[in-house]
């Protein structure tokens, strides 16, 4: 499955406003059901992934599978450099640290606002 910027990583539903321009995608404000799931990684760092409210329980119950089947292939598709991909595959998530609505994550500072 292809992961699309601004969409739920699980079901691909759009959860952010998206504006496409040639050569660039702007991710805008989040919908109310856009959730930021912070994963605790093996090395102690965290990684944030976006899922919609409807997909949360499914992702919560299968974090390693979600990481392996959805997130890692997305990095590969995006053409991330091999060192980064290798680091990510050797640094799997241990579990969910916390879940917050994207609207409460200081979205103003994180994303392109329009």
Residue number with CB closer to Zn ion (100 or 113): 100
Residue number with CB closer to Zn ion (54 or 76): 54
CA torsion 31-112-1-73 (nearest 10°) is -130
Please report, as ranges, the residues that interact with Zn ion according to CB under 5 A: 8, 10-11, 13, 52, 55
Supply the Cα-derived Rg of the chain in whole angstroms: 14
Residue number with CB closer to Zn ion (38 or 91): 38
Nearest distance in Å: CB 97, Zn ion: 20
Contacts of 62 (CB under 8 A, 6+ apart): none
Strand arrangement of the beta sheet that strand 34-41 belongs to: 46-52, 34-41, 93-101
């Amino acid at each position: 499955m292809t992961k699309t910027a601004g969409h739920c990583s699980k079901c691909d539903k759009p959860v952010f406003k998206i504006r496409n321009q040639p050569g660039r995608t702007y991710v805008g404000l989040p919908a109310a059901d856009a959730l930021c799931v912070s994963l605790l990684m093996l090395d102690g760092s965290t990684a944030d992934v976006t899922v919609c409210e409807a997909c949360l329980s499914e992702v919560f119950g299968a974090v390693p599978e979600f990481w392996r089947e959805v997130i890692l292939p997305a990095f590969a598709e995006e053409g991330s450099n091999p060192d980064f991909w290798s680091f990510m595959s050797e640094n799997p998530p241990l579990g969910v640290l916390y879940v917050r609505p994207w609207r409460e994550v200081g979205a103003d500072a994180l994303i392109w606002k329009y």
